[in-house]
Amino acid sequence: MNAAVERARDLVGRAERIVVLTGAGVSAESGVPTFRGTDGLWKSRRPEQLATPEAFARDPRTVWEWYAWRRSVIGACLPNPAHLALARLALTHDHVTLVTQNVDGLHHRAADEVADDLADAGADAARAHPLEVHGAMHRDRCSGCGWRSPGRTDVDTTSVDTLPRCESCGELLRPDVVWFGEALDMEVLGAALEAARHADLCLVVGTSAVVYPAASIPELAHRSGAAVVEVNLEETPLARYATTSVRGAAGLTLPTVLGLALTPCGTSTHG
């Protein structure tokens, strides 16, 4: 086991209150594309062309086409060992708050799967359901009155006229996600910041940590005295203050960092 993995595992083993922040990298090994980087979703399209309310107002068909494609990609993906290890941690440790920027629902599915495995021990899946600070791709919301659908609506992107509309006010439905320039749900963000303020360990997995206010979660935990452990393939702005940075793929390294595997892992590291 390399030194950073060992340090991270020791910090996890000793922590009493843990807040976890995940990003697109935690789902990369499931086959969900990340946003930034060479294979990222923003490589060929600028975010403001697709992930802003202005883009939706200008060209809702193109925005819906992009989300319909991403829904079909995610529909074929399964939780990977990183999601499963985090779910197990949240179900077996007394104080873990799982916060995700991801809209793919894979943490949720992992929680349900692991809770089923631990049913004899009385595990309650809800304890491992994450705070989804950027919303969820499998729900829709009315762009007019804000009504939320319980699940996803079938979307026909043939033309603007075939796009789904709200039954009560007639405005276009949109994915229930947070676009640039939009406020995050204050209750969800507040709960995440509260967990960060009281944590003694903040684990940050697979995020470039450049999108705010989500990126302020580890910053706040650090300022409040928590150790910060990062798991990422590449260096990020967190390197400035992280206690330990594990450089490796989340699915390969997290089970060991969380004390759930015995195999050595991690590539290069710094402490």
Cis peptide leading into 213, omega within 30 of 0? yes
Query: Scanning the structure block, which residue is given the tokens 């989300």?
Result: 67
Tokens at 143, concatenated: 């762009």
Nearer to ligand BJW, 117 or 182 (CB): 182
Rounded CA Rg of the chain: 19
Shortest Å, Cβ 12 to ligand BJW = 16
Rounded to whole angstroms, the Cα distance separating 260 from 71 reads 31
Nearer to Zn ion, 164 or 213 (CB): 164
The one of Zn ion, ligand BJW, none whose footprint includes residue 30, by CB under 5 to 8 A per kind, is: none
The residues, any chain, with a CB within 8 Å of residue 158's CB and separated by 6 or more, are none
Shortest Å, Cβ 224 to ligand BJW = 19
The closest residue (CB) to ligand BJW is 25
Nearer to ligand BJW, 14 or 45 (CB): 45
Shortest Å, Cβ 118 to ligand BJW = 25
Amino acid at 36: R
The one of Zn ion, ligand BJW, none whose footprint includes residue 220, by CB under 5 to 8 A per kind, is: none
Q: b/e string for 161-195 if b means 16 or more Cβ within 10 A?
A: eebbbbeeeeebbbbbbbbeeeebeeebbeebbeb
Which H or E run contains 194? helix 186-198
Shortest Å, Cβ 90 to ligand BJW = 19
- Phi and psi at residue 172, in whole multiples of 5°? -70, 140
Contact footprint for Zn ion (CB under 5 A): 142, 144-145, 147, 166, 169, 171
Active site (annotated) includes residue 129: no
Question: Are 153 and 140 contacting, i.e. CB atoms less than 8 angstroms apart?
Answer: yes
The one of ligand BJW, Zn ion, none whose footprint includes residue 232, by CB under 5 to 8 A per kind, is: ligand BJW
Contact footprint for ligand BJW (CB under 6 A): 23-25, 28-29, 34-37, 40, 51, 101, 103, 134, 177-183, 206-208, 210-213, 231-234, 236, 249-250
The one of ligand BJW, Zn ion, none whose footprint includes residue 145, by CB under 5 to 8 A per kind, is: Zn ion
* Among 108, 129, 134, 222, the one annotated catalytic: 134
User: Please, which residues bridge with residue 142 across strands?
Assistant: 173
Shortest Å, Cβ 124 to ligand BJW = 27
Rounded to whole angstroms, the Cα distance separating 101 from 107 reads 11
The one of ligand BJW, Zn ion, none whose footprint includes residue 250, by CB under 5 to 8 A per kind, is: ligand BJW
Nearer to ligand BJW, 181 or 225 (CB): 181
Question: Are 204 and 177 contacting, i.e. CB atoms less than 8 angstroms apart?
Answer: no
Nearer to ligand BJW, 118 or 155 (CB): 155
Query: Scanning the structure block, which residue is given the tokens 């963000």?
Result: 189
The catalytic residues are: 134
